[in-house]
Structure 1
Protein backbone atom coordinates (compact mmCIF):
# COMPACT_ATOMS: atom_id res chain seq x y z
CA UNK A 1 0.00 0.00 0.00
CA UNK A 2 2.83 2.34 0.96
CA UNK A 3 4.66 1.53 -2.28
CA UNK A 4 1.52 2.29 -4.29
CA UNK A 5 1.14 5.60 -2.47
CA UNK A 6 4.75 6.53 -3.27
CA UNK A 7 4.19 5.65 -6.92
CA UNK A 8 1.03 7.76 -7.10
CA UNK A 9 2.76 10.73 -5.47
CA UNK A 10 5.69 10.38 -7.89
CA UNK A 11 3.31 10.32 -10.88
CA UNK A 12 1.47 13.39 -9.61
CA UNK A 13 4.76 15.21 -9.15
CA UNK A 14 5.84 14.23 -12.67
CA UNK A 15 2.59 15.43 -14.23
CA UNK A 16 2.76 18.66 -12.23
CA UNK A 17 6.32 19.21 -13.43
CA UNK A 18 5.33 18.71 -17.06
CA UNK A 19 2.36 21.10 -16.71
CA UNK A 20 4.54 23.76 -15.06
CA UNK A 21 7.22 23.36 -17.75
CA UNK A 22 4.69 23.64 -20.57
CA UNK A 23 3.29 26.80 -19.05
CA UNK A 24 6.62 28.50 -18.54
CA UNK A 25 7.12 31.48 -20.88
CA UNK A 26 8.99 30.30 -23.97
CA UNK A 27 11.98 32.33 -25.16
CA UNK A 28 11.01 34.79 -27.88
CA UNK A 29 13.28 36.05 -30.67
CA UNK A 30 14.10 39.74 -30.71
CA UNK A 31 13.95 39.76 -34.51
CA UNK A 32 10.76 40.78 -36.27
CA UNK A 33 9.18 37.41 -37.08
CA UNK A 34 6.48 37.27 -39.75
CA UNK A 35 3.50 35.18 -38.69
CA UNK A 36 2.56 33.81 -41.08
CA UNK A 37 5.72 34.02 -43.21
CA UNK A 38 5.35 36.32 -46.22
CA UNK A 39 5.58 35.18 -49.81
CA UNK A 40 7.98 36.89 -52.19
CA UNK A 41 6.90 38.28 -55.53
CA UNK A 42 8.31 36.41 -58.56
CA UNK A 43 11.84 37.50 -59.45
CA UNK A 44 14.69 36.60 -61.82
CA UNK A 45 18.18 37.91 -60.93
CA UNK A 46 21.75 37.27 -62.04
CA UNK A 47 23.98 35.37 -59.65
CA UNK A 48 27.47 34.09 -58.94
CA UNK A 49 26.17 30.53 -59.41
CA UNK A 50 26.67 30.78 -63.18
CA UNK A 51 22.95 31.08 -63.93
CA UNK A 52 20.01 33.30 -63.08
CA UNK A 53 18.15 32.65 -59.85
CA UNK A 54 14.43 32.84 -59.10
CA UNK A 55 12.12 32.09 -56.17
CA UNK A 56 12.78 28.37 -56.61
CA UNK A 57 16.44 28.85 -55.69
CA UNK A 58 15.44 29.93 -52.19
CA UNK A 59 13.59 26.68 -51.52
CA UNK A 60 15.16 23.83 -49.59
CA UNK A 61 17.51 26.05 -47.60
CA UNK A 62 17.58 28.80 -45.01
CA UNK A 63 18.81 31.98 -46.67
CA UNK A 64 20.14 35.16 -45.09
CA UNK A 65 19.77 38.08 -47.52
CA UNK A 66 21.22 41.53 -47.20
CA UNK A 67 21.94 44.46 -49.46
CA UNK A 68 25.47 45.63 -50.16
CA UNK A 69 27.98 46.36 -52.88
CA UNK A 70 31.61 45.52 -53.55
CA UNK A 71 32.81 49.13 -53.26
CA UNK A 72 31.19 49.44 -49.81
CA UNK A 73 33.86 50.62 -47.35
CA UNK A 74 32.47 49.39 -44.04
CA UNK A 75 29.05 47.77 -43.43
CA UNK A 76 29.25 45.19 -46.24
CA UNK A 77 32.67 43.61 -45.62
CA UNK A 78 32.02 43.68 -41.87
CA UNK A 79 28.66 41.94 -42.27
CA UNK A 80 30.07 39.36 -44.69
CA UNK A 81 32.94 38.53 -42.32
CA UNK A 82 30.56 38.32 -39.35
CA UNK A 83 28.20 36.00 -41.23
CA UNK A 84 31.07 33.74 -42.27
CA UNK A 85 32.02 33.45 -38.61
CA UNK A 86 28.51 32.74 -37.33
CA UNK A 87 27.43 30.25 -40.04
CA UNK A 88 28.89 27.14 -38.33
CA UNK A 89 26.86 27.99 -35.23
CA UNK A 90 23.64 28.42 -37.24
CA UNK A 91 24.13 25.00 -38.85
CA UNK A 92 23.93 23.39 -35.41
CA UNK A 93 20.23 24.31 -35.18
CA UNK A 94 19.05 22.83 -38.49
CA UNK A 95 19.64 19.92 -40.85
CA UNK A 96 18.79 22.21 -43.78
CA UNK A 97 21.59 24.09 -45.60
CA UNK A 98 22.15 27.73 -44.59
CA UNK A 99 23.16 30.15 -47.36
CA UNK A 100 23.90 33.87 -47.63
CA UNK A 101 22.82 36.07 -50.54
CA UNK A 102 24.64 39.37 -50.89
CA UNK A 103 22.42 41.50 -53.13
CA UNK A 104 24.43 44.20 -54.87
CA UNK A 105 22.64 47.54 -54.96
CA UNK A 106 25.28 49.05 -57.27
CA UNK A 107 24.54 47.55 -60.70
CA UNK A 108 26.46 50.35 -62.42
CA UNK A 109 29.79 49.07 -61.05
CA UNK A 110 29.03 45.55 -59.87
CA UNK A 111 28.88 43.16 -62.81
CA UNK A 112 28.42 39.40 -62.38
CA UNK A 113 32.14 38.67 -62.27
CA UNK A 114 32.77 41.28 -59.62
CA UNK A 115 29.98 40.11 -57.29
CA UNK A 116 31.03 36.50 -57.92
CA UNK A 117 34.65 37.15 -56.93
CA UNK A 118 33.46 39.07 -53.89
CA UNK A 119 31.08 36.35 -52.69
CA UNK A 120 33.44 33.43 -53.34
CA UNK A 121 36.07 35.07 -51.15
CA UNK A 122 33.88 34.52 -48.10
CA UNK A 123 33.01 30.88 -48.77
CA UNK A 124 30.91 28.38 -50.69
CA UNK A 125 27.76 29.31 -48.77
CA UNK A 126 27.86 32.87 -50.12
CA UNK A 127 26.07 33.85 -53.32
CA UNK A 128 26.49 37.19 -55.08
CA UNK A 129 23.30 38.60 -56.60
CA UNK A 130 22.86 41.50 -59.03
CA UNK A 131 20.36 42.99 -61.47
CA UNK A 132 19.59 46.26 -63.16
CA UNK A 133 17.40 48.69 -61.24
CA UNK A 134 14.08 47.76 -62.96
CA UNK A 135 14.42 44.20 -61.60
CA UNK A 136 16.50 44.98 -58.52
CA UNK A 137 14.44 47.71 -56.88
CA UNK A 138 11.14 45.75 -56.71
CA UNK A 139 12.96 42.74 -55.29
CA UNK A 140 14.77 44.73 -52.59
CA UNK A 141 11.59 46.61 -51.75
CA UNK A 142 9.67 43.32 -51.48
CA UNK A 143 12.23 42.17 -48.90
CA UNK A 144 11.42 45.23 -46.81
CA UNK A 145 14.83 46.80 -47.53
CA UNK A 146 15.93 49.93 -49.39
CA UNK A 147 18.84 51.52 -51.22
CA UNK A 148 19.69 54.82 -52.89
CA UNK A 149 20.38 55.34 -56.59
CA UNK A 150 23.25 57.72 -57.52
CA UNK A 151 22.76 60.69 -59.79
CA UNK A 152 23.19 59.94 -63.48
CA UNK A 153 26.81 60.35 -64.54
CA UNK A 154 28.29 59.87 -61.05
CA UNK A 155 31.26 57.51 -60.94
CA UNK A 156 32.70 57.93 -57.43
CA UNK A 157 29.86 57.55 -54.95
CA UNK A 158 28.53 55.72 -51.91
CA UNK A 159 25.24 53.83 -51.94
CA UNK A 160 23.04 54.22 -48.88
CA UNK A 161 21.33 50.92 -48.12
CA UNK A 162 19.66 48.92 -45.36
CA UNK A 163 21.95 47.17 -42.89
CA UNK A 164 19.24 44.70 -41.80
CA UNK A 165 19.37 41.00 -42.71
CA UNK A 166 16.30 39.13 -43.97
CA UNK A 167 15.77 35.44 -43.17
CA UNK A 168 13.97 33.38 -45.82
CA UNK A 169 12.74 29.94 -44.80
CA UNK A 170 13.11 26.68 -46.79
CA UNK A 171 9.69 27.28 -48.39
CA UNK A 172 11.11 30.45 -49.96
CA UNK A 173 9.09 32.82 -47.77
CA UNK A 174 10.23 35.72 -45.60
CA UNK A 175 10.44 34.37 -42.06
CA UNK A 176 12.09 37.20 -40.12
CA UNK A 177 14.17 40.35 -40.34
CA UNK A 178 17.15 41.08 -38.09
CA UNK A 179 17.50 44.82 -37.52
CA UNK A 180 20.88 46.52 -37.28
CA UNK A 181 22.05 48.01 -34.01
CA UNK A 182 22.70 51.76 -34.19
CA UNK A 183 25.41 52.79 -31.73
CA UNK A 184 26.81 56.34 -31.81
CA UNK A 185 30.27 56.38 -33.38
CA UNK A 186 29.97 52.86 -34.84
CA UNK A 187 28.71 51.53 -38.16
CA UNK A 188 25.22 49.97 -37.94
CA UNK A 189 25.49 46.18 -38.00
CA UNK A 190 23.37 43.21 -36.98
CA UNK A 191 24.43 41.52 -33.73
CA UNK A 192 25.54 38.04 -34.78
CA UNK A 193 25.15 36.76 -31.22
CA UNK A 194 21.50 37.84 -31.18
CA UNK A 195 20.97 36.55 -34.74
CA UNK A 196 22.26 33.11 -33.70
CA UNK A 197 20.06 33.11 -30.59
CA UNK A 198 17.00 34.10 -32.62
CA UNK A 199 17.77 31.50 -35.30
CA UNK A 200 18.03 28.80 -32.61
CA UNK A 201 14.42 29.65 -31.66
CA UNK A 202 13.02 30.13 -35.17
CA UNK A 203 14.59 27.25 -37.13
CA UNK A 204 13.33 24.30 -35.01
CA UNK A 205 9.73 25.58 -35.25
CA UNK A 206 9.66 25.49 -39.06
CA UNK A 207 7.55 22.69 -40.53
Structure 2
Protein backbone atom coordinates (compact mmCIF):
# COMPACT_ATOMS: atom_id res chain seq x y z
CA UNK A 1 0.00 0.00 0.00
CA UNK A 2 2.81 2.36 0.90
CA UNK A 3 4.59 1.63 -2.42
CA UNK A 4 1.36 2.37 -4.29
CA UNK A 5 0.98 5.68 -2.45
CA UNK A 6 4.56 6.66 -3.26
CA UNK A 7 3.97 5.81 -6.93
CA UNK A 8 0.77 7.90 -7.04
CA UNK A 9 2.52 10.86 -5.40
CA UNK A 10 5.43 10.57 -7.85
CA UNK A 11 3.04 10.45 -10.81
CA UNK A 12 1.16 13.52 -9.55
CA UNK A 13 4.46 15.37 -9.11
CA UNK A 14 5.53 14.42 -12.63
CA UNK A 15 2.26 15.59 -14.18
CA UNK A 16 2.40 18.81 -12.18
CA UNK A 17 5.96 19.40 -13.36
CA UNK A 18 4.99 18.91 -17.00
CA UNK A 19 2.01 21.26 -16.63
CA UNK A 20 4.18 23.93 -14.99
CA UNK A 21 6.90 23.54 -17.63
CA UNK A 22 4.41 23.85 -20.49
CA UNK A 23 2.90 26.95 -18.92
CA UNK A 24 6.25 28.72 -18.73
CA UNK A 25 7.22 31.07 -21.59
CA UNK A 26 9.29 29.13 -24.15
CA UNK A 27 12.53 30.62 -25.51
CA UNK A 28 11.99 32.55 -28.74
CA UNK A 29 14.43 33.19 -31.59
CA UNK A 30 16.12 36.57 -31.84
CA UNK A 31 15.96 36.40 -35.62
CA UNK A 32 13.09 38.03 -37.48
CA UNK A 33 10.67 35.14 -38.03
CA UNK A 34 7.91 35.62 -40.59
CA UNK A 35 4.52 34.56 -39.26
CA UNK A 36 3.17 33.23 -41.49
CA UNK A 37 6.15 32.38 -43.73
CA UNK A 38 6.25 34.35 -46.96
CA UNK A 39 5.72 32.84 -50.39
CA UNK A 40 8.61 33.48 -52.78
CA UNK A 41 7.95 34.87 -56.23
CA UNK A 42 8.76 32.51 -59.12
CA UNK A 43 12.42 32.71 -60.16
CA UNK A 44 14.83 31.09 -62.59
CA UNK A 45 18.55 31.27 -61.82
CA UNK A 46 21.65 29.17 -62.55
CA UNK A 47 23.39 26.87 -60.12
CA UNK A 48 27.15 26.45 -60.37
CA UNK A 49 26.62 22.91 -61.73
CA UNK A 50 25.23 24.55 -64.89
CA UNK A 51 21.56 23.65 -64.53
CA UNK A 52 18.68 26.07 -64.13
CA UNK A 53 17.25 26.29 -60.61
CA UNK A 54 13.82 27.47 -59.55
CA UNK A 55 11.49 27.52 -56.56
CA UNK A 56 11.15 23.73 -56.70
CA UNK A 57 14.85 23.37 -55.83
CA UNK A 58 14.21 24.92 -52.43
CA UNK A 59 11.63 22.32 -51.42
CA UNK A 60 12.47 19.43 -49.11
CA UNK A 61 15.37 21.20 -47.44
CA UNK A 62 16.22 24.11 -45.17
CA UNK A 63 18.14 26.68 -47.23
CA UNK A 64 20.28 29.57 -46.04
CA UNK A 65 20.45 32.27 -48.72
CA UNK A 66 23.43 34.60 -48.60
CA UNK A 67 24.50 37.32 -51.05
CA UNK A 68 28.18 37.50 -51.87
CA UNK A 69 30.81 37.25 -54.61
CA UNK A 70 34.07 35.42 -55.09
CA UNK A 71 36.23 38.59 -55.11
CA UNK A 72 34.76 39.79 -51.80
CA UNK A 73 37.66 40.51 -49.42
CA UNK A 74 36.00 40.15 -46.01
CA UNK A 75 32.28 39.52 -45.30
CA UNK A 76 31.81 36.69 -47.80
CA UNK A 77 34.76 34.40 -46.95
CA UNK A 78 34.18 34.96 -43.24
CA UNK A 79 30.48 34.11 -43.45
CA UNK A 80 31.08 31.12 -45.71
CA UNK A 81 33.74 29.74 -43.35
CA UNK A 82 31.43 30.27 -40.37
CA UNK A 83 28.59 28.46 -42.14
CA UNK A 84 30.88 25.57 -43.10
CA UNK A 85 31.88 25.18 -39.46
CA UNK A 86 28.23 25.39 -38.31
CA UNK A 87 26.85 22.94 -40.89
CA UNK A 88 27.19 19.73 -38.82
CA UNK A 89 25.38 21.32 -35.87
CA UNK A 90 22.63 22.71 -38.10
CA UNK A 91 22.05 19.38 -39.82
CA UNK A 92 21.89 17.66 -36.44
CA UNK A 93 18.90 19.80 -35.46
CA UNK A 94 16.64 19.18 -38.47
CA UNK A 95 15.14 16.17 -40.22
CA UNK A 96 15.41 17.84 -43.64
CA UNK A 97 18.94 18.56 -44.95
CA UNK A 98 20.42 22.06 -44.59
CA UNK A 99 21.91 23.75 -47.66
CA UNK A 100 23.55 27.11 -48.40
CA UNK A 101 23.03 29.12 -51.57
CA UNK A 102 25.65 31.80 -52.13
CA UNK A 103 23.92 34.20 -54.52
CA UNK A 104 26.57 36.00 -56.52
CA UNK A 105 25.94 39.73 -56.81
CA UNK A 106 28.82 40.06 -59.28
CA UNK A 107 27.63 38.27 -62.44
CA UNK A 108 30.14 40.20 -64.54
CA UNK A 109 33.11 38.42 -62.95
CA UNK A 110 31.56 35.32 -61.36
CA UNK A 111 31.29 32.66 -64.03
CA UNK A 112 29.77 29.26 -63.27
CA UNK A 113 33.25 27.71 -63.21
CA UNK A 114 34.48 30.32 -60.76
CA UNK A 115 31.45 29.80 -58.51
CA UNK A 116 31.86 26.01 -58.68
CA UNK A 117 35.48 26.25 -57.60
CA UNK A 118 34.74 28.75 -54.82
CA UNK A 119 31.73 26.94 -53.35
CA UNK A 120 33.31 23.53 -53.82
CA UNK A 121 35.96 24.51 -51.29
CA UNK A 122 33.30 24.86 -48.58
CA UNK A 123 31.55 21.56 -49.22
CA UNK A 124 28.76 19.79 -51.12
CA UNK A 125 26.06 21.59 -49.13
CA UNK A 126 27.10 24.89 -50.76
CA UNK A 127 25.69 25.98 -54.10
CA UNK A 128 26.84 29.02 -56.04
CA UNK A 129 23.96 30.80 -57.76
CA UNK A 130 24.08 33.44 -60.47
CA UNK A 131 21.95 35.36 -62.97
CA UNK A 132 22.23 38.56 -64.93
CA UNK A 133 21.08 41.70 -63.15
CA UNK A 134 17.70 41.70 -64.91
CA UNK A 135 16.74 38.50 -63.07
CA UNK A 136 19.10 38.80 -60.12
CA UNK A 137 18.12 42.20 -58.75
CA UNK A 138 14.36 41.47 -58.37
CA UNK A 139 15.18 38.11 -56.77
CA UNK A 140 17.58 39.62 -54.21
CA UNK A 141 15.25 42.54 -53.54
CA UNK A 142 12.36 40.11 -53.00
CA UNK A 143 14.40 38.44 -50.26
CA UNK A 144 14.63 41.74 -48.40
CA UNK A 145 18.32 42.09 -49.33
CA UNK A 146 20.23 44.54 -51.51
CA UNK A 147 23.41 45.03 -53.53
CA UNK A 148 25.04 47.73 -55.61
CA UNK A 149 25.55 47.51 -59.38
CA UNK A 150 28.89 48.90 -60.61
CA UNK A 151 29.16 51.06 -63.70
CA UNK A 152 29.47 49.03 -66.93
CA UNK A 153 33.03 50.27 -67.61
CA UNK A 154 34.37 49.41 -64.14
CA UNK A 155 36.71 46.43 -63.96
CA UNK A 156 38.23 46.64 -60.47
CA UNK A 157 35.48 47.29 -57.94
CA UNK A 158 33.84 46.23 -54.69
CA UNK A 159 30.15 45.31 -54.51
CA UNK A 160 28.21 46.61 -51.54
CA UNK A 161 25.70 44.00 -50.43
CA UNK A 162 23.62 42.82 -47.48
CA UNK A 163 25.36 40.61 -44.93
CA UNK A 164 22.12 39.15 -43.53
CA UNK A 165 21.18 35.50 -44.13
CA UNK A 166 17.67 34.46 -45.20
CA UNK A 167 16.22 31.11 -44.08
CA UNK A 168 13.88 29.27 -46.45
CA UNK A 169 11.83 26.38 -45.05
CA UNK A 170 11.27 22.95 -46.71
CA UNK A 171 8.12 24.27 -48.37
CA UNK A 172 10.19 26.86 -50.23
CA UNK A 173 8.91 29.82 -48.19
CA UNK A 174 10.90 32.63 -46.59
CA UNK A 175 10.78 31.70 -42.93
CA UNK A 176 13.24 34.03 -41.17
CA UNK A 177 16.10 36.45 -41.61
CA UNK A 178 19.25 36.48 -39.49
CA UNK A 179 20.61 40.01 -39.37
CA UNK A 180 24.27 40.91 -39.05
CA UNK A 181 25.69 42.45 -35.92
CA UNK A 182 27.51 45.76 -36.37
CA UNK A 183 30.46 46.18 -34.00
CA UNK A 184 32.81 49.16 -34.41
CA UNK A 185 36.09 48.04 -35.93
CA UNK A 186 34.70 44.67 -37.11
CA UNK A 187 33.09 43.56 -40.35
CA UNK A 188 29.30 43.08 -40.14
CA UNK A 189 28.58 39.36 -39.94
CA UNK A 190 25.83 37.16 -38.56
CA UNK A 191 26.49 35.78 -35.08
CA UNK A 192 26.74 32.08 -35.92
CA UNK A 193 26.15 30.81 -32.38
CA UNK A 194 22.92 32.83 -32.25
CA UNK A 195 21.94 31.57 -35.71
CA UNK A 196 22.39 27.96 -34.56
CA UNK A 197 20.32 28.62 -31.42
CA UNK A 198 17.60 30.38 -33.40
CA UNK A 199 17.55 27.64 -36.02
CA UNK A 200 16.93 25.03 -33.33
CA UNK A 201 13.99 27.05 -32.00
CA UNK A 202 12.57 27.61 -35.49
CA UNK A 203 12.79 23.90 -36.34
CA UNK A 204 11.13 23.10 -33.00
CA UNK A 205 8.09 25.19 -33.90
CA UNK A 206 7.98 24.29 -37.61
CA UNK A 207 4.92 22.47 -38.83
Q: TM-score, normalised by structure 2?
A: 0.95
Match in the other structure for 2:91: 91
| Distance apart, 1:76 and its partner CA | 0.4
Does 2:171 match 1:171? yes
Q: Distance in 2 between matches of 1:69 and 1:2?
A: 71
Match in the other structure for 2:135: 135
2:71 match: secondary structure: coil
Q: In the alignment, is the contact (CA less than 8 A) between 2:34 and 2:174 conserved in 1? A: yes
Match in the other structure for 1:107: 107
| Distance apart, 1:70 and its partner CA | 0.7
Q: Distance in 2 between matches of 1:155 and 1:84?
A: 30
| Distance apart, 1:5 and its partner CA | 5.1
Match in the other structure for 1:60: 60
Considering only aligned residues, what root-mean-square deviation do their CA atoms show, in Å?
1.4
1:93 match: secondary structure: coil
Q: Distance in 2 between matches of 1:106 and 1:11?
A: 62
Q: Distance in 1 between matches of 2:78 and 2:6?
A: 60
Q: Distance in 2 between matches of 1:135 and 1:74?
A: 26
Q: In the alignment, is the contact (CA less than 8 A) between 2:101 and 2:128 conserved in 1? A: yes
Deviations, residues 147-194 of structure 1 (Å, cap 9, x unaligned): 001122111111000000001011000111000010000000001111
Match in the other structure for 2:122: 122
Q: In the alignment, is the contact (CA less than 8 A) between 2:49 and 2:112 conserved in 1? A: no
Does 2:14 match 1:14? yes
Q: In the alignment, is the contact (CA less than 8 A) between 2:165 and 2:179 conserved in 1? A: yes
In structure 2, stretches of 5+ residues that fail to align are none
Q: Distance in 1 between matches of 2:90 and 2:152?
A: 41
Does 2:170 match 1:153? no
Q: TM-score, normalised by structure 1?
A: 0.95
- 1:11–1:152 Cα change, 3 Å: same
Instruction: Indicate the larger mover: 114-123 or 83-92.
Output: 114-123
In structure 1, stretches of 5+ residues that fail to align are none
Instruction: Indicate the larger mover: 108-117 or 9-18.
Output: 9-18
Deviations, residues 65-106 of structure 1 (Å, cap 9, x unaligned): 110001100000111111000000101101211110000001
Match in the other structure for 1:71: 71
Deviations, residues 25-74 of structure 1 (Å, cap 9, x unaligned): 11111110111111100000011133010000000111001100011000
- Give the length in aligned residue pairs: 207
Moved segments of 4+, more than 6 Å: none
Match in the other structure for 2:49: 49
